[in-house]
Amino acid sequence: MDARPILRVSGLRVRYGRKVAVDGVSFEIMPGEVYGLLGPNGAGKTSTIKAILNLVDYEGEVDLLGMGRPRGKLLNEIGAVLESPAVLESLTVKEFLELVASIRGVGADRLDALVHAFDLGEYLGSYIATLSQGNKQKVAIVSALMHRPRLLVLDEPFNALDVKSARILKDVIQAHRKDGGAVLFSTHVMEVAERICDRIGILNEGRMLMEGATRSIMEQLHAGSLEEAFLRAIHAEEEIKGLVEAL
């Protein structure tokens, strides 16, 4: 397997005016790896993801496949599901997915298989604006997977998904790993992250607090679960205890 990172982020800094949202973050994702980017609200996860997708200005370096900053045709090597699905709500499901497929050069067989897997067939004629949040999420997932990208960027991908679709997505992530792809995965659901992430990075206030193998971080923090390790890393355990006692 290729020993070169699929994604390398070095000294990433994202500013919004005077506010520094991401402050010197660095990490790598290797082929066959699921990397969990974890942190409380406002930690800098979404800004990091937007920088990787070239959606915000940043300082530092983002390198995809050793070919530099993801832009132009290189962005075709990424499939992204954002926390707020980026779909054109004025189109029908069929119109939107066929548009994405034509841009990505994806054949009908691949698109049909994904539509069937995520139970979107009955909604093909529906406008995306009329769909439930779960079905909008499925449309975003299908559009991200259809071109078999080397890097999947998944920001809260299980939001509003039904149990069957969530299981299918988990299995797709594992198959992607086995094929040598990489996944950048962001979630607040620690139980899911513990099960599927090979390595994690914990962000807080824009900075990387800890990074390493999931099991290793749990051991370092003497935690029985990733949730416990995460709360210890961001020093939230005592705060939670005090808040609960005050109720």
The predicted-structure confidence for 29-54, as pLDDT tens digits, reads as follows 999 999 999 999 999 999 999 999 99
Consecutive H or E run containing 239: helix 237-245
pLDDT for the residue numbered 241? 78
Consecutive H or E run containing 115: helix 108-117
Q: How confident is the model at residue 247 (pLDDT cuts 50, 70, 90)?
A: confident
Q: What is the mean pLDDT of the chain?
A: 94
pLDDT for the residue numbered 119? 97
**What is the number of residues in the chain?**
247
CB atoms within 10 A of CB 133: 12
Q: How confident is the model at residue 86 (pLDDT cuts 50, 70, 90)?
A: low
The yes-or-no verdict on residue 202 having pLDDT over 60 is yes
For the segment 116-139, the average pLDDT, to the nearest whole number, is 96
d(CA 108, CA 94): 11
For the segment 100-124, the average pLDDT, to the nearest whole number, is 96
The yes-or-no verdict on residue 2 having pLDDT over 70 is no
The yes-or-no verdict on residue 216 having pLDDT over 70 is yes
Q: Which two tokens stand for residue 196?
A: 């599927």
Which neighbouring-strand residues pair with 14?
A: 22
For the segment 67-96, the average pLDDT, to the nearest whole number, is 91
pLDDT for the residue numbered 48? 97
The yes-or-no verdict on residue 58 having pLDDT over 80 is yes
The yes-or-no verdict on residue 80 having pLDDT over 90 is yes
d(CA 230, CA 226): 6
For the segment 125-146, the average pLDDT, to the nearest whole number, is 96
pLDDT for the residue numbered 219? 97
The yes-or-no verdict on residue 103 having pLDDT over 60 is yes
d(CA 217, CA 201): 9
Q: Give the phi and the psi of residue 44 in degrees, each rounded to 5.
A: 115, 5
Which neighbouring-strand residues pair with 203?
A: 208
d(CA 105, CA 117): 20
Beta strands in the chain (DSSP E): 7-16, 19-29, 34-38, 59-64, 78-81, 151-155, 182-186, 199-204, 207-213
